[in-house]
Amino acid sequence: MEYKVQNDGNTAMVVLEGQLDFSANDTFEKLLDSLKSTKPSKLVFDLSGLTTIDSVGLGLLYIASEDLQGVPVILRNPQGYVARLLDLTDASKMFQIERM
């Protein structure tokens, strides 16, 4: 997994690319530490560049939501398999999902 963060002071936009799975665990943890230190008022994960996600990757998104308590987490533009997994797991109950 690769990522880029854009932070305008209120909203942190994280563009994820590649695979969000077990192998991304350490990288994602570093990303979360960085996000917690900036304390955004809203967090957007742009998923358009993700090719795959598994249960661990989905769990990482849930951990981000829990670690940033009170910060709305938005999953933007999931594609293909990623969108299907989010639908199958009812992720919309936890996250706002924006499809463009």
pLDDT tens, residue by residue, 35-64? 998 889 999 999 999 999 999 999 999 999
Report which residue type is found at 21. Answer: D
Rounded percentage of the chain residues whose pLDDT exceeds 70: 100
Structure-model confidence comparison of residues 74 and 100, the more confident one: 74
**What pLDDT score does 75 carry?**
98
Give mean pLDDT, residues 3-18: 94
Sorted by sequence, the CB contacts under 8 Å of residue 81 that are 6+ apart come out as 51, 52, 53
- Measured over the CA atoms of residue 38, residue 96, residue 86 and residue 18, the dihedral's sign is negative
Give mean pLDDT, residues 60-70: 93
Domains and CATH numbers, the chain: 2-98 (3.30.750.24)
Give yes or no for residue 86 having a pLDDT over 90.
yes
